[in-house]
Amino acid sequence: MYKSIKTKDIELKEIYNLMISGISPRPIAFVGSQDLEGSDNLAPFSYFNAFGSNPPIIGFSPANSGRTGKQKDTLINIKETGEFSVSIINHQMVEQVSLSSCEYDSKIDEFIKSGFTKKESTMIKPPSVNNAPFIMECILYNILELGGKPGSGNLILGEIVCFHASVDIFDNDNRINPAKLDPISRLGYDFYSRASEGLFEVHKPRHNGIGFDQLPKKIRESNKITGNELAKLAGIEKLPSINQDYDYLNESNTDRLIETIKESLSNMEIELSWQAVLRLIKR
């Protein structure tokens, strides 16, 4: 038995949710672009795949805002410059990628906000994500605007002009090992999939996060806090202040505070983790 749903009978949001839930898992294109003034932009897109090898074509589709119909900065940049990079993400990067998807102003650099360093490209101007396991430099092949309405897609087709592949993802027979590549794919709502382990969840920030650049230096440069953990801290709307309800943390030593930060972030207890952070940076 099937539940049949005619698209003309439902709202745009329900169509969207059905598509992202049923058409899954989807690979993620982490797209680097640049405007005519040289400002960099970084954004993830899961309407993405490959469409041919000769010439090598990939495509992704930034949708217009479902609320305003406004086009995304990535689309505008590529229209202007005709170039973009695509970095494939792995599990170690996924929280930072989620943070980069916040709707920052067009002049805000998402590389900085999400804590990624830039890899200079060989044949195009836009950078890619340094340490991404697999990178493609692309020149624009075509753009198909699919409706021009709120929620409409814009299929960007690009020709790959250069690959960059980490030596760590290859087997001895010079083939890419999917477990070593460890790519992340997107499903419906907050669900993702990992090539080596299966389903897990990433909770997207409900607002524009403060970003890595606003994290206290002592935490941002700590070798005990991972990039994924820092991204959860950077997803808050504004820096908090010390809450006396958590004064019991004052009795914890440095190692215990770090343990509290990591444990609470694992359980998505963001307020507790920040209260531990605030006490740690005072030491």
pLDDT digits (tens, 9 = 90+) for 196-220: 787 777 887 778 999 999 999 999 9
Q: Indicate the pTM of the whole model.
A: 0.86
Contact predicate 163/136, CB 8 Å? yes
List where CATH 2.30.110.10 sits in the chain.
7-201
- How many other C-beta atoms can be found within 10 angstroms of the C-beta atom of residue 175? 9
β-pair partners for 138: 84, 160
Determine the distance from the C-alpha atom of residue 24 to the mean position of all C-alpha atoms in its chain, rounded to a whole number. 17
pLDDT digits (tens, 9 = 90+) for 239-257: 999 999 999 999 999 999 9
Superfamily of 7-201 according to CATH:
Electron Transport, Fmn-binding Protein; Chain A (2.30.110.10)
270 Cβ neighbours under 8 A, 6+ residues apart: 232, 233, 235, 236, 264
Q: What is the DSSP letter of 30?
A: E
Cα(105)–Cα(127) distance, rounded to whole angstroms? 19
Q: What is the pLDDT of residue 68?
A: 87
Longest dimension (CA), the chain: 64
What φ, ψ does residue 101 adopt, rounded to 5°?
Answer: -80, -5
